[in-house]
Structure 1
Amino acid sequence: MSLLCNFSEATTRIKEHYTLSRFIEDSGVALKKTGREAVGLCPFHAEKTPSFSVNDQKGIYYCRGCGATGDVIKYHATANGVSDGKAISQLAYSLGITLKSDNQPQHSRSEPSTATPSRETRATLSDLHDHVAELAHRYLLSVLNEPDHPATKYLLEERQFTLEEIYRFGIGFLPPEQPLWALVSNPSPHNPEPVTLPESQWRVSAIEAGLLNGSYQTSMFQGRILFPITNTDGRCVAFSGRVIPALADSVVLGDRKYVNSPETHIFDKSSTLFGLTPWRFTLRDKKTASQWRELNAKTSYVLVEGLTDVVRLTQLGIRAVAAMGTAISNEHLRIILTRADTLIVLTDGDSAGVDAAQKAMLTVLPLLKAGHVAYAACLPDGEDPDSYFCELDITPNPTEHFWHLANGLHRHLPEEVWFDEYIGHTADPVSIADQVRIERALSPSGPAKIPVDPLWRLSLIRFIADVTGYYTQPLVSLRSAYFTPSEQTEWMLDDSSRFWLYRIARAPEILRPMTRPKLKSWWVKDAVNGLLGAATECPAPLRLIYQAGIAAHKSKEPISDWPSLVSVLLDVGFPTGLLVAWASVVEDGDKSLASLGYTEEVLSPDLWQVEFEEWVTSIDQSLTAKLFQALNLDSD
């Protein structure tokens, strides 16, 4: 009887049950006890000198080489290419723990399990796929010893697949001569655990899974090279079958190069990526498991169109995945970006490939967060990744050669594709119609999808300004009636007090308290609205600080770092042109702040507030004295 736990309870039980060093050794990593720690070669990157250590007392592993660290759950997640939540689910299942939501009532152990029919259906379909995939993989491994077999000639000679890749992806083959039921129900070296269900019951599931069609006894996947498609649990949930030219006349639908499983209860094409999660059956081999751990530790992903492209690039040490014969979806990209820092969409160079690349860039832009890099690269016309990179595996460093070739391909950047799609050509200087089109593209109610991340949103606005010379400015009360953003930017960059903008970007939580005392001062209002006698009477950085302070006080959202400050200011309608100027100061492109030591300055928010108050007090006294002198009044 399984134990019912919520996620937090299951996490504790998992960590209590497993000894981390033994768990890691069971996954195929050799460890040697050294004092309180066990040491070995890191499973997440290639190395010759051990830098990977495991401390069972703390339940933590750490690699001094690549920085990988975590507990038993993080190790399982990284090694198997799954999320932390999925790792908890899988480890809990292996311990006989049934997970429940926090608000699900706790049942006694004596109560029977109440699995829903849909879960039973999914489990049956997954078991069926895993069984067929194992049978096909074992059968293919046996015929690879026959040099004249069509599958051997096609894979090893024509496609130049290696045994490593056949093991890694669990590639299989089913003979086309026998009915599928005969293959799965009769014991053989390839099928050590035959199906025990009645044929009629098994056949219903096989038809639902798309393995059989109507009254056919032979599957459309027989006689083809069979690629298992996995879910994030590492279960086989679908197949893609590639026809072998020599067998095309003897297989079902032999005129089709590829046949794919239909969508089922366990398979959704729009959220499934080939090559993302290893099939759990292949991880029984320690060498294959080690290779997958190293692949899953990579943070640069290449998204390609074909399954054989994934196999080819993986041979070169590249982390590659493919959409399942469908357009690249929002969910495909979201899944990848939760694991990757860099995403390259690699497409063919024909018109369809270019179109797919541009659509992918429009889809990915709203999903990007700080730290992400994404672009599309198109191969020369007539090439695909399998053909273009096919000879790199014989070079001394195939991974390095791949990136060298890939960096030379024509790129489509997401911001450029977005600009061409929603703004297009503009006049110089921009016309009113151009300005309206730009503002509409950036409007939340407009046709274009813009980045949710505040830094990407700000950078997109800066890109538009660089291309068109137009600074977008929402019509809000904070916008100066007399000073353009370009004027304020110029004054700001020339002002020696701009280091205050850098300080506030480092500790933005001080913005509200440091500006609050003088917000209602006459000169602050006049400076913000451009009403002082001369524009430079109030330093440009100080004017911007008070404009931001007034805006920040309109929001109750917390401000803890630069992205949250940008988000709050944008939400209350702060002029985007001024944020662009502020960001340029923070970047310190000319290294002027660095040369003065401000970029290495110790973070001292309390001290900075005191210094700011002293600075503002001196300006207040100076401007008040000038005002009284102009009015022939005694400042005393």
Structure 2
Amino acid sequence: MTPYADVPRCIKIRLSLSTHVLAAGIELKKRGAEWVGLCPFHDENTPSFSVNDTKGLYFCRGCRATGDIIEFHAAMNLVSTGQAIKELADLADIKVEPRQYTPRNGPAVRRPQRQAWDRSVLLDINVAAQYVFRGKAEHPDFISVIEERHIPPALAAAFGLGYFPTNLAFLDSMVARPELSDLSRDQVSLGCAELGLTYTGGGSPFTGRLIFPITDPSGAIVGFSGRTLDEASKAKYINSPESELFDKSRLLYALTPPRALITASPEAREFWRTLIAQDEIYVVEGYTDVIALAAFGIRACAGMGTGFSSHQVQLLLKHARRIRCLYDGDRPGQQAAQRTMLTVFAEMTDDHRLTAHLLPDTHDPDSFLAANPDDPKAALSGLHVRQPESLWWDHYVGKLSTPSSLADQVVIERAYANRDTYPKTPLWQLMIARRIQQISGYLIRYPALQTQLPPWSLHRLARQALSNEDAIVRLWLHRLYARPDRIAALCAPYRRRWWANDLLTGRAGADGPPAALTYIFAANVCLGDDDSIDQAGLVDRLLKNGFPARWLMGWASTFTAVTAERAEEHEADSGVGDRTWQFEWSTWLDSMDESLCNRFKAALTRLDNH
């Protein structure tokens, strides 16, 4: 067990600051003895944020933010320094001795174990605290801050925003509340300390701050978050500490209204009734962003830190079928949006839809709405949208090489095998497999995917008829359109040749095999080894198996034109035996194969010489 006073020093020894910064999603590059990147605490385009592992400190030359790993964790996760120490100690596997306190007239003694509190009593204390905070809504500092943030008083009341001045005794106000009349002053004091509403020695960490009540899914007030009014303060936000009531990894701000407020106010009840009736919800970063959207009748919620937990995702999916991520437009905001999108995507069901809406890099949701007050919904709908499957591909697969390699296939297979990264329903697994095929042409081994996308699915010429000026090609197009039963036998010896694959995938160049020969080999893919197909059933069979309609029209028009040109020879062709056709076909393709291979080898030789 490590004494509490030694825990910060042990944390700094065991945990690397740069590793912790990288784990928070901030990109750093090694530059000499330091790591350098964009500052997470202010908007910038040129990196001014540096991390020095030797000193264990970070420093931003732009906004002057500085500190150690504990201060960084507290600032990034919107928690107090004490809570940051607790979370980092858990991360470093440091067992902490119970803290000691020193009475005025005596030696240091071990802090007594917390008493077991009745949950209903703790909830009553939080409700009383909410009324105390709201009771100062007429204070000049509170009025000034909500006016500065363009929050109408009615909206501040609906969200239960509050304040408590620094020059008043918070505990005295709590003891006077009728909700706590059954408790003694000592009990109120102990309960407030248990919930983090007061310090052990008196006073409250929430004084002089804009207060946001935090509710659980039932609407009970389980904690508070306080934003400093002093921009020079290191702790921009502080949250209630972890307690029997408050676990920030299981809560979302404004997902449900404060029950105590809507019970007491018909106006607030009607406001929230309209808001939560919506089946879609915006996920944003800041509490004030939530309120800014609500001012225009748009439902939103926010996480309690930089990341989304599985519990928070389940809450979100339970309360809305359509989720839209709307994060700050700067780089850290978009990185946070991507992390949230990937987390939510992995937990989605077939009933949900998820999108990310990209703000300009100079805006957050609050400022964007302020810039578009006339029709904010239209402005939001005009933003660039990213789909979750696109983000999934970028994050887990990335850009493929051209032409694709075995390494690409390994990355794709590994990404698809990690079933925890995308929705777990059979339909979504099928859709992801098809998405992979559409992008890469690579067939995923998924049993539900019964049919393989044809090789020409990505062929840029599949939407138009192919050039067929070559007389020999036109002859064979004519012959095999009339006798499709012979396609399988004629194509079998050549279907695995490299140039045949190039034809089907659209990679054959102008100096390669005749383009219209693609029709015959594509028909072979559609018909397989079936040698019983006749001309009457050819069209339906080809279309059913994905043969491009434009190609079929081009082939049919060639057949019609050649029939008119060679009316007499057509009758003669129909009586030619299989062996003759096989000889003529193989003589032509063998000659073409040899010519193409020679050209290919010559090209390789020229490359080697260079």
TM-score, with structure 2 as normaliser: 0.54
Match of 1:114 in 2: none
Whether the 8 Å contact between 1:479 and 1:529 is mirrored in structure 2 is: no
Match of 1:169 in 2: 159
Which one-letter code corresponds to 2:171 in the other structure? Answer: W
- The CA deviation string for residues 122-169 of structure 1, in whole angstroms up to 9 with x for no partner, is 2222111111101211331x43xxxxx1211221x2112112211211
Whether the 8 Å contact between 2:389 and 2:432 is mirrored in structure 1 is: yes
Match of 1:159 in 2: 149
Structure 2's unaligned 5+ residue stretches are 1-113, 459-524, 551-610
Which one-letter code corresponds to 1:123 in the other structure? Answer: S
Whether the 8 Å contact between 2:175 and 2:188 is mirrored in structure 1 is: no
Shift of 1:320: 0.6
Which structure would you say has the larger Rg?
2
Query: Which protein has greater RCO, CA pairs closer than 8 Å, 6+ apart?
Result: 1
Is the counterpart of residue 279 in structure 1 residue 258 in structure 2? yes
- Residues 539/421 of structure 1: CA separation in 2 closer, same or farther (3 Å cut): farther
- The CA deviation string for residues 172-199 of structure 1, in whole angstroms up to 9 with x for no partner, is 122221222111123xxxx455544223
Match of 1:180 among 155, 170, 184: 170
Match of 1:434 in 2: 408
Shift of 1:435: 2.1
Match of 2:423 in 1: 451
Match of 2:387 in 1: 413
Whether the 8 Å contact between 2:125 and 2:180 is mirrored in structure 1 is: no
Whether the 8 Å contact between 1:378 and 1:411 is mirrored in structure 2 is: yes
- The CA deviation string for residues 337-368 of structure 1, in whole angstroms up to 9 with x for no partner, is 22222111111122211111111121122222
Is the counterpart of residue 124 in structure 1 residue 124 in structure 2? no
What is the count of residue pairs matched by the alignment? 369
Match of 1:208 in 2: 194
Distance 1:473 1:291 in 2: 51
Is the counterpart of residue 235 in structure 1 residue 220 in structure 2? yes
Is the counterpart of residue 350 in structure 1 residue 340 in structure 2? no
Distance 2:169 2:219 in 1: 27
RMSD, aligned α-carbons: 3.8
Distance 2:369 2:224 in 1: 25
Local SS of the residue matching 1:263: coil
Distance 1:406 1:210 in 2: 38
Which one-letter code corresponds to 2:454 in the other structure? Answer: S
Distance 2:271 2:399 in 1: 48
Distance 2:184 2:348 in 1: 50
Which one-letter code corresponds to 1:262 in the other structure? Answer: P
Match of 2:443 in 1: 471
Distance 1:243 1:277 in 2: 24
Q: Which residues in structure 2 correspond to 1:507-522 (within 5 Å)?
A: none
Whether the 8 Å contact between 1:133 and 1:172 is mirrored in structure 2 is: yes
- Residues 234/479 of structure 1: CA separation in 2 closer, same or farther (3 Å cut): closer
- Residues 159/450 of structure 1: CA separation in 2 closer, same or farther (3 Å cut): closer
Q: Which residues in structure 2 correspond to 1:321-360 (within 5 Å)?
A: 321-360=301-340
- Residues 474/274 of structure 1: CA separation in 2 closer, same or farther (3 Å cut): closer
- Residues 239/473 of structure 1: CA separation in 2 closer, same or farther (3 Å cut): same
- The CA deviation string for residues 230-253 of structure 1, in whole angstroms up to 9 with x for no partner, is 1112111100112224xx89xxxx
- Residues 339/448 of structure 1: CA separation in 2 closer, same or farther (3 Å cut): closer
Q: Which residues in structure 2 correspond to 1:213-612 (within 5 Å)?
A: 213-215=199-201, 217-245=202-230, 255-283=234-262, 284-393=264-373, 395=374, 401-443=375-417, 446=418, 449-474=421-446, 485-486=453-454, 532-533=530-531
Whether the 8 Å contact between 2:441 and 2:455 is mirrored in structure 1 is: no
Shift of 1:374: 0.8
Shift of 1:120: 4.9
- The CA deviation string for residues 375-416 of structure 1, in whole angstroms up to 9 with x for no partner, is 2223222422122212545x2xxxxx2232223334332111
Distance 2:332 2:145 in 1: 27
Whether the 8 Å contact between 1:430 and 1:470 is mirrored in structure 2 is: no
Structure 1's unaligned 5+ residue stretches are 1-116, 144-148, 396-400, 491-526, 544-580, 591-636
Distance 1:540 1:331 in 2: 55
Distance 1:488 1:244 in 2: 62
- Residues 280/448 of structure 1: CA separation in 2 closer, same or farther (3 Å cut): closer
Whether the 8 Å contact between 2:372 and 2:379 is mirrored in structure 1 is: no
Shift of 1:298: 0.4
Whether the 8 Å contact between 2:124 and 2:180 is mirrored in structure 1 is: no
- The CA deviation string for residues 550-588 of structure 1, in whole angstroms up to 9 with x for no partner, is xxxxxxxxxxxxxxxxxxxxxxxxxxxxxxx99x99xxx
Which one-letter code corresponds to 1:260 in the other structure? Answer: N
Match of 2:573 in 1: none
Local SS of the residue matching 2:454: helix
Q: Which residues in structure 2 correspond to 1:20-59 (within 5 Å)?
A: none
Which one-letter code corresponds to 2:437 in the other structure? Answer: A
Whether the 8 Å contact between 1:428 and 1:468 is mirrored in structure 2 is: no
- Residues 266/118 of structure 1: CA separation in 2 closer, same or farther (3 Å cut): farther
Q: Which residues in structure 2 correspond to 1:62-73 (within 5 Å)?
A: none
Which one-letter code corresponds to 2:142 in the other structure? Answer: A
- Residues 452/390 of structure 1: CA separation in 2 closer, same or farther (3 Å cut): same
TM-score, with structure 1 as normaliser: 0.52
- Residues 193/420 of structure 1: CA separation in 2 closer, same or farther (3 Å cut): closer
Shift of 1:538: 13
- Residues 139/487 of structure 1: CA separation in 2 closer, same or farther (3 Å cut): closer
Distance 1:379 1:472 in 2: 35
Q: Which residues in structure 2 correspond to 1:108-123 (within 5 Å)?
A: 120-123=117-120
Q: Percent identity?
A: 33
Shift of 1:330: 2.4
Whether the 8 Å contact between 1:441 and 1:448 is mirrored in structure 2 is: no
